[in-house]
Amino acid sequence: MAGGAMAENMCNQKLLPVFHITGGEGWINDPNGLVEFHGEYHVFFQYYPHDCKWGPMHWGHVKSRDLTHWERLPIALYPDENEDGCFSGSAVVWEGKLWLLYTGFKQNEGGETVRQLQCLASSDDGIHFVKHGVVIGEKELPADYCPWDFRDPKVFRRGGMFYCIVAAKKRGAGGRILLFESEDLFRWKFVVDLFERDGKGFMIECPDIRDDMGLLLYSEQFYPADGNKFLNVHSSLYCFGELTLPRGYRAEGEGEIVDYGFDFYAPQTFPNTPVMIGWLNMWDRTNPFEKYGFAGQLTVPRRLIRKGNRLLQQPVYDGVPVRTEKDFSTLSDHLLVGAVKVQAKGLSEFSVCLRKSDEYVTLFERRGDVWIFDRSKSGMPISGAEKDADSLAGIRRMPYEDIEQTEIEIVSDLFSLEIFVNGISLSSVICPPTDADRLDLRISAGSCIYTRYQMK
C-alpha cells in the first residue's frame, strides 16, 4: 500500500493499545536501548513507520517517568547512505551524554555480501542523535565468524571499561555470543566467545547480561521444542552463571524459557534497574491489527527477581485498586484495560474467562499439573509458522506448581493478555472487539482475595 493511502487508512480506523508501547503507526519489533537518562526511562525500538510490515529499520523512541505513561519522541535513528537499516542495540550514559551502540545493516548484493557491523551514535539531550559510524567492524571480528550474521550489541560497564556482547555466527556452524571491550566506546577489541560452542538453534539474537544477577538473556531462531516449552518458531531463554574475564561465561545449567506464551521475543533490561521489556509479538505471524494501522507492541515492563536458578517476573504498572472481593467461588467483573490479581491459599481449581462476549472468549485455567491458555475463540484469528497441535489449536501450556500460596496476576490491554503465576509468565496478543470485556472467574481454594486495578 502506498504511504499516503496507508496513512489515510490508519487515520480512519486507528485503535492502539492504551499503555503498551507501540510506534503509533507502522511496524515495531525488538526493544532497544533501555536506559535511564536525566531521571527518565528511555525505550527505543525497531521501527518502520511507513507500513504495517517489516521494512528498513529505524529506531523509534519513547520515554516515561513511571514505566506506564509513555511520551512519544522523534525517531532517533534513520537509515542513510551508509546503512540500509539501523538494527537492534543498546544504550549507555557516559560523560553526560546518551550513547547508542547499534547494528548498521548493509544489504549489498545479499547473502554473504550482507554486512552487519556495530555503529555508535550520541546525544546531548537524549532526543537528537549524531552518528559516529562503524566502531566494531570486520577487522575487530575474528576471521572465522560471519560479518553477515553479527548483530544486536548490548553494552555494559565493569570497572573502568566498557564491554559489549554481540550475537554472531561462526562460519559453517551455529549461533554464538562474542565479548568485546573498549576504554572509550570508539576503539574495541575482541575478548572471547562466551560459550565456545554453538547454540541449539540457527542463530542467537539480542543477548543481554546483568552482572548484578549473574543473568544472561538471549533469543534463538528455530530453537528446538521441548515438551510444552519453546513451541514458538523462535524463543527467548535465560541462564544464570558468571562472566569471568577473559575466560568467558560459565552457565549454571541449560538455558530456560523466559515466557510460555505465543508472543514474546528479544527481551532487554535497563542497565541500572532489573526491569525487562520484550517484544509482544512473534515472527512469521498474521497481523490482524493492520486494519488499525499498527503492527507490534512491547510487553509491560517486568521487574526481575532471582530465586535460586529461577527467573521470576513481576509486572510494573501504575494502577489503583477499584474492586476487592474475598473468599468466593464464582465472580463476574469487567476487564478491558487494567489488571487483576488473585491471591489464593490451598488452590485446587481455577478457571477464568477473559475478554468475553456472547461470541468471543479467552480462557486461562488449571488442568491437572498444567495451566492452559486458550485463545482459539479470542477474536480475529492469528496464525503462524508453528505446526504443532497446540499451536494450531490456539493453546499454550505452563507448568502448575502445587504450593500453599498461589498468586495470579493478569495484565490486560486492548490487544494483549500477560499472565503471571508466582512469577512465571505467559504473554500473548489477542484481537477481540472492544465490547468483549466480561470476566468470569471460578475458583476453589481455602481462602482467596480478588483485586482489580485501574491504570492511573
Catalytic residue among 30, 193, 208, 263: 30
Confidence of residue 226 (pLDDT cuts 50, 70, 90): very high
pLDDT at 163: 98
CB 328 within 8 A of CB 393: no
CB 126 within 8 A of CB 101: no
- The amino acid at residue 175 is G
pLDDT at 299: 98
Residues 396-415, mean pLDDT to the nearest whole number? 97
Report the alpha-carbon distance of residue 195 to residue 241 in Å, rounded. 11
pLDDT at 14: 82
pLDDT at 12: 45
pLDDT at 13: 62
Q: What is residue 442's three-state secondary structure?
A: strand
Residue 159 CA: distances (Å) to CA of 75, 82, 183 = 32, 34, 10
Residues 208-227, mean pLDDT to the nearest whole number? 97
pLDDT digits (tens, 9 = 90+) for 325-368: 999 999 999 999 999 999 999 999 999 999 999 999 999 999 99
Confidence of residue 150 (pLDDT cuts 50, 70, 90): very high
| The CATH number, out of the four listed (3.40.190.80, 3.40.190.10, 2.60.40.10, 2.115.10.20), of the domain defined by the range 3-315 | 2.115.10.20
Return the closest-CA partner of residue 89 out of 147, 175, 150, 23: 150
Higher pLDDT, 183 or 196: 183
Confidence of residue 392 (pLDDT cuts 50, 70, 90): very high
Question: Which residue carries 577487522 as its cell?
Answer: 139
CATH 2.60.120.560 location in the chain:
319-455
259 noted as active-site residue = no
pLDDT digits (tens, 9 = 90+) for 44-74: 999 999 999 999 999 999 999 999 999 999 9
Q: May I ask the CATH architecture of the domain 319-455?
A: Sandwich (2.60)
Residues 412-432, mean pLDDT to the nearest whole number? 98
Please, what is the average pLDDT of the chain? 96
Confidence of residue 4 (pLDDT cuts 50, 70, 90): very low
Residues 161-165, mean pLDDT to the nearest whole number? 98
Which range, of 12-21, 83-92, 170-179, averages the lowest pLDDT?
12-21
Residues 361-384, mean pLDDT to the nearest whole number? 97
User: Percent of the chain at pLDDT above 70?
Assistant: 97
- Specify the long-range contacts of residues 11-18, CB closer than 8 Å, at least 24 apart: 11/293, 13/291, 13/292, 13/293, 14/292, 14/293, 14/294, 15/292, 15/414, 15/434, 16/292, 16/294, 16/414, 17/297, 17/413, 17/414, 17/415, 17/416, 18/337, 18/413, 18/414, 18/455
CATH 2.115.10.20 location in the chain:
3-315
